Structure 1
Amino acid sequence: MPKQKNSRPFTVCLLSPHPGLLAELQRLLPNPQFKVKPMRLKFGPGLDPGDVRLPRASMFVIDASPARATAERLLDSIRKRSPKSHVIILKEDMTDQAVFPFLRLGSKGVLRYEDARRELARAVKAVAGGGIWIARPQLSRFMDSVLRKSPKGQELHERGDLSPREREVLFVVLKGLSNKEIASKLNISERTVKFHVSHLLQKFGVQRRADLILQNLQAWPANSSD
């Protein structure tokens, strides 16, 4: 059960232009696990996310289908104004072309409307715990799209607390290689690879390699992806 440090219910803000959908989403996030704040917004070219007074929340769930460009601007605004908050996107179109822009802007989860009825609460819990909610094949394609233009890893997110070897291991992890493949490529033992990967997970505050991969790819400059 996701809890904030002071043990209060986990706060989730729902953003959509449709009151019916807001009511349905609120029903899917039961109390006392979640404190839900539904907010109706009129999506469209006239909506300036900077003028929207958003409530404080640990998680935002955005209904992105009414106007994708507006939803992208809203996500970007949330990430800039509240960088510690997580965002999950609800969409109908789950093609790479439709999903990748939201991943580049920092979304940690993407759900189809029809899947939200059975998966929204689990997705919120997973993302709140530092994880992601993205289909593995799509995450792999997103990873490839970002890495394709950075073959030498020169655009890895700068962190002063990473050793040269950790940066080297991190970049190979981002290519999706297994521990055995990394050991062979870097001419080190699998045990050493596991040691470095474990330290990387701790330093980035994540539990799984997939979470580590997405966090780093989202930190790269936008021009490093297609």
Structure 2
Amino acid sequence: MTNDQFDSDGLGVLIVDDIAVHRDSLVTALAGRPDVAYAAGAAGSDDALRLLRARRFSVVLLSMAGLESRGICRDIVTAADPARVVAYAVSASDGEIMTCAEAGVGGYLLRDDPYAMLVTAVLTAARGDIWCPPPVAAVLMRRVGPHAAGLEMTGGPGRLTAREREILGLIDGGLSNKEIARLLSIEVRTVKNHVHNLLEKLSVHRRGEAAALLRNHTARARL
């Protein structure tokens, strides 16, 4: 089910940004679009949580340039569910991207991405897909993928192949089959085959279950 299906009022966007001029400009610009039913702004966590309780939104735009953004990212994602959270003004630093990925954001926009790309990310998130610029995908591949290397199989003949581990890391980073195919320069059907095989080896039925196994394995490895 896509986000605009659960909200009978149409596509609603909440912008969380503690810089008023940025927040107000985005609210005005998005509210004036024919494909956006309504837009609202929140200065911080308290305002955002209050608005999320009061009205359903399809997409939440969370500025990562704010002073408290990294600390509230997970809370916003949890409170917004089933809406998708798109982190914007994200720096290219591994730490900030991984904070977003671990919180479960549904899209990324870098600090130098233009407004037109932000609109595309919003509409992509509203369809239930993930917008992930190549620099962000590269960080996810580099940082998340290796954590799958030692993942023990609960079924199957042995460990995941290198490609399966790579794809599992990207799944955990929130990428779709199409995005993984584009990033790895392979066919979507090839990605689907790898996903089918890794699910079978891990004795799970869903991508989310495989990603959860990876996160549990990573958490244990850090202890």
TM range (shorter): 0.5 to 0.7
Provide the rounded CA distance (Å) in 2 between the counterparts of 1:155 and 1:81. 33
In structure 2, the residue matched to 1:9 is 10
Provide the rounded CA distance (Å) in 1 between the counterparts of 2:195 and 2:149. 24
Q: Which has the higher helix share?
A: 2
Provide the rounded CA distance (Å) in 2 between the counterparts of 1:81 and 1:225. 29
Q: Give the length in aligned residue pairs.
A: 190
Identify the match of residue 130 of structure 1 among 128, 131, 134.
128
- Shift of residue 135, structure 1, vs aligned partner: 1.9
Identify the match of residue 139 of structure 2 among 119, 137, 141.
141
Aligned 8 A contact 1:14 1:36 in 2: no
Aligned 8 A contact 1:108 1:133 in 2: yes
Provide the rounded CA distance (Å) in 1 between the counterparts of 2:126 and 2:156. 31
**1:173 lines up with 2:167 in the alignment:** yes
Identify the match of residue 51 of structure 2 among 49, 54, 57.
54
In structure 2, the residue matched to 1:39 is 41
The two structures, once aligned, show a CA RMSD in angstroms of: 4.3
For 1:9-158, what aligned pairs fall within 5 Å after superposition? 9-29=10-30, 30-41=32-43, 43=44, 52-55=49-52, 56-67=56-67, 70-91=68-89, 93-154=91-152
Q: 1:172 to 1:21 in 2, by over 3 A?
A: closer
Aligned 8 A contact 2:124 2:130 in 1: yes
Amino acid at match of 2:219: N
Unpaired runs of at least 5, structure 1: 157-162, 179-189, 205-211
Provide the rounded CA distance (Å) in 2 between the counterparts of 1:51 and 1:14. 8
TM-score by length of 1: 0.63
- Shift of residue 78, structure 1, vs aligned partner: 2.3
Q: 1:111 to 1:225 in 2, by over 3 A?
A: farther
Provide the rounded CA distance (Å) in 1 between the counterparts of 2:97 and 2:13. 21
Unpaired runs of at least 5, structure 2: 171-179, 182-186, 198-204
Provide the rounded CA distance (Å) in 2 between the counterparts of 1:25 and 1:72. 21
For 1:154-165, what aligned pairs fall within 5 Å after superposition? 154=152
Larger displacement relative to structure 2 (146-155 or 99-108): 146-155
Provide the rounded CA distance (Å) in 2 between the counterparts of 1:218 and 1:72. 24
Q: Render the CA deviation track for 1:169-195: whole Å, top value 9, x for unaligned.
A: 8646336798xxxxxxxxxxx9x9676
TM-score by length of 2: 0.63
